[in-house]
Amino acid sequence: MLDDRRARILQALVEEFIRTGQPVSSRAILEASEVKVSSATVRNDLAKLESYGFVEQPHTSAGRVPTHQGYRYYVDHCAPARLRSATRMRIESFFTDVHRELSKLLQETSGLLSDLSTYPAVVVGPGLGDEKVVALHLVPLSGSVVLAVTIAESGRVTREIVRLTRDLSESDVGRAETIIGKLYAGRTLAEGGARVGELGADDLSDPVRRIIGAVADALAHTETSTQDIYVGGTTQLAALWEDLTQVHSMLGLLGRDSAVREMVEDPGAGTAVRIGAELGVDDVELAVVSSDYEAGEHGIGRVGVIGPMRMNYRRTIKIVEEVSDGLGESLGGS
């Protein structure tokens, strides 16, 4: 933990670097932080911060810039900014009297979040959550491959390809469909899976039992696989990363659903900020601010902003939180 003066100096350095993108001098820190000490004291404190790994000096004659650890300390100890009333009103009006189809709402929300933050934005749709299954059908595709088609009460349709180790007869597939359809009908995927686990094997042939088990295993992963991803603001990449190599890397990342989901997902609930090496992306420096939203019976989704490490964290955190709250309320979340 830094003492108050060094924490204020680090905060001033990070915020000045975010504003200008240039190494920050001790004079600039004095002007920005209003710390009542001499330039020599600031330089000594900067040397200490450098020894802690919070800042670095790219050139001996230049000022200093924050490191990944410096950004991390800053984010962990800063408070979200207050948004302008016009920004708050825009968010509120966007989610007032929402009458959009879910996918359209989520796509437009990614655009709103990108416009407000000036960074590329991501909205991860909720999975099936607590939706109940209306029907489950098994369609033989080849000797050992079956397509499991699930229809939820909202009308959402999911498809999972199930591969088995042996060829199956159509009669076995039909028998398995009848049994597993009854187990899942009127229940959530989790509840249906639990019923499969309670199923006795005495009255089932080995092929039918294997089909039911494989389908249940596939449906257990449907919650994640049905989370659609909507990305907005990719046209801003060139303005955020001057290096075209990094722009191309970002385009590649944003074009892969699995990579995007991994960047914005967080094991804990609420708002999360992941910076630099924490994201496991080697060829581009970036940071992600994300937060979850409750979508009522649809489950939980996530919204996030992806930008360079030199992003305006305080403002971005507040925007992400306000948008996630508005989206959750519009979808019936608590």
My answer on whether 308 and 253 are in the same domain is yes
Do 234 and 157 lie in a common domain?
A: no
Q: What percent of the chain has pLDDT over 70?
A: 93
Q: Which residues contact 118 (CB under 8 A, 6 or more apart)?
A: 233, 236
Is the domain of 206 the same as that of 242?
no
**Pair 312, 195 in one domain:** no
CA distance 250 to 231: 12
Rank 6-10, 164-168, 240-244, 283-287 by mean pLDDT and report only the highest.
6-10
Provide the mean pLDDT of the chain.
88
Rounded to whole angstroms, the Cα distance separating 53 from 72 reads 11
Q: What is the mean pLDDT of residues 12-30?
A: 93
- Residues 241 and 270 reside in one and the same domain: yes
How far is it, in rounded angstroms, from Cα 190 to Cα 250? 36
Place of tokens 């050992």: 144
More confident residue, 183 or 103: 183
Residue with the two structure tokens 């919070």: 54
Specify whether 93 is located in the same domain as 108.
Answer: yes
Tokens 């955190």 -> residue:
317
154 and 219 both lie in a single domain: yes
Clarify whether residues 90 and 68 are in a common domain. no
Residue 172, φ and ψ in degrees, nearest 5: -65, -40
Neighbours of 231 (CB within 10 A): 18
pLDDT classification of 223: cutoffs 50, 70, 90:
low
The reply to whether 243 and 118 lie within a common domain is: yes
Report the CATH number at residue 263: 3.30.450.40
What's the number of domains the chain is made of? 3
Q: pLDDT tier at 103 (50, 70, 90 boundaries)?
A: confident
Number of neighbouring beta carbons within 10 Å of residue 238: 12
Q: How many angstroms separate the most distant Cα atoms in the chain? A: 86
Distance CA 207, CA 21 (A): 64
Question: Are residues 314 and 74 in contact, defined by beta-carbon separation less than 8 angstroms?
Answer: no
Q: Which domain holds residue 64?
A: 4-77
Which CATH number characterizes residue 179's domain? 3.30.390.10
| Tens-place pLDDT, residues 280-304 | 888 888 999 999 998 776 678 899 9
Distance CA 324, CA 326 (A): 5
Helix (H) or strand (E) holding 230: strand 229-232
Are residue 231 and residue 208 in the same domain, yes or no? no
CA Rg value for the chain: 26
Give me the sheet containing 157-163, strands edge to edge.
133-142, 145-152, 157-163
Same domain, 231 and 321: yes
Residue that has been written with the tokens 């099936």 in this structure: 128
Strands (E), 128-199: 133-142, 145-152, 157-163
* Cβ contacts of 107 within 8 Å, gap of 6 or more: 123, 230, 232
